[in-house]
Amino acid sequence: MNVSHKTILITPLNWGLGHATRCIPIIKALQQNNYIPIIASDGIALALLKKEFPALKTLELPSYQIEYAKKGKNLKWKLFQNGFKTIKAIRREKILIEDWIEKHNIDGIISDNRLGVFSSKIPSVYITHQLNVLTGNTTWITSKIHRYIIKKHTECWVPDLAGVQNFTGKLGHLENTNLNIKYIGPLSRLHKKETEKKYDLMIILSGPEPQRGILEAKLKIEILRYSGKIIFIKGVVEKNQIKEQIGNVVYYNFMNSIELEHAFNESEKVLCRSGYTTVMDLVQLEKKAFFIPTPGQYEQEFLAEKLMKDGLAPYAIQEDFSIEDIQETQHYKGFTKLNSAINWHNLFTFFLFFRDRFSCINSTADSQIIRIDLSCVG
């Protein structure tokens, strides 16, 4: 089957850098398998991917205008306040997608948590590790809404393992479901390499403001009491990279994938958020880590608690953290790479398999219910 002219639109959510960075190995695999990726996002997610793939076509989607509260307990209310803006952006991106399919001859879609990026005209994949969206006492409704959106897509890829041995727990696993789910294994753009250790501690920050900046300010004070060598990546994507050496700490505003891979491999242990993309990188690199979940983000709090219970890594609440807590990592196993290599060729044949069948798809007027004519299946 000739895939040399198959164009795939890949669209990560701009919520921190995690969604964008876990799309990097997918984009590279598309290129290696003779597909033509087009990248669409907004904000720092789009800026990062432009730096990673300067030769690829990029498009800009409307921003969801996600804002974090200064206090974690107010996060849910802050997101609710911004809800109207988010819904407006989702509606706008749905219109854009239908236009781009014709304008750019798009043959398939891979959406990483962008809620309006799908079409009944072409195969549409949705990537998420949150089949359950934890929001405290509103988990039941946020999970139900999310699964309703997932069902609009042809297939849902979960970057985790399907069995009992997994990293997302109840986030990425349902007891009973009629969703078309495929567990593809952890995704990481990084690779483990045996190299001399240059740093005792690597600090890498991510996530939306103001929480990213609040943690940066706190850690700059805490590390004054740390005598070892530190590499500190702030997670601020700007036009130019800035490097600064202050005492035993070398600061970077951001790094590309190659630089980040070197930094991880040259560091003994890692201090970071407990976002799932970061967890997958730690698994790939077999590192020891200490987590500080983003305040108010139930997903990160759940993952940090789960991974501590599994004996993999300790964590602390942001306001309670002190640099001396880092010593706790010696009592935990750290992460081990699992034998779960992704067969990209087989995974991408999805776009070929469904290509002809979509010519037989009938859609309702609002394009929300897809019915496949059984004459196309036989």
**Domain boundaries along the sequence of the chain:** 7-127+343-376, 199-331
Q: Please tell me if the domain spanning 7-127+343-376 has the same topology as the one spanning 199-331.
A: yes
Query: Measured between alpha carbons, how far is 284 from 25 in angstroms, rounded to an integer?
Result: 12
Specify which residues 201 forms β-bridges with: 230, 269
Tell me the C-alpha distance between 261 and 271, whole Å. Answer: 15
Q: Which CATH superfamily is domain 199-331 in?
A: Glycogen Phosphorylase B; (3.40.50.2000)
DSSP string for 289-340: EEE-PPTT-HHHHHHHHHHHHTTS--B--GGG--GGGGGGGGGS------S-
DSSP letter string, 35-53: -EEEEEE-HHHHHHHHHH-
pTM: 0.87
Per-residue pLDDT of 312-365, as tens digits, reads 999 999 999 999 999 999 999 999 987 778 999 999 998 987 655 555 554 443
Non-local (6+) Cβ contacts of 186 within 8 A are: 159, 160, 161, 167, 280, 283, 284, 338, 340
The tens digit of pLDDT for each residue in 261-298 reads 999 999 999 999 999 999 999 999 999 999 999 998 99
CA dist 18 and 55 (Å) reads 22
Percentage of the chain beyond pLDDT 70 is 88
The one-character DSSP state at 63 is P
- Contacts of residue 80, Cβ cutoff 8 Å, sequence gap at least 6: none
Percentage of the chain beyond pLDDT 90 is 77
- What's the CA gap between 309 and 268, in Å, rounded? 22
Tokens of 223: 């590390």
- pLDDT (tens digit per residue) in 127-177: 999 999 998 889 999 999 999 999 999 999 999 999 888 999 999 999 888
pLDDT at 113 over 90: yes
Q: Considering only the top CATH level, what class is 7-127+343-376?
A: alpha beta
> Is residue 56 within 8 Å of residue 39, measured between CB atoms?
yes
Identify the DSSP state of 115.
T
pLDDT at 367 over 50: no
Sheet holding 249-252, edge to edge: 243-246, 249-252, 230-233, 199-204, 267-272, 288-291
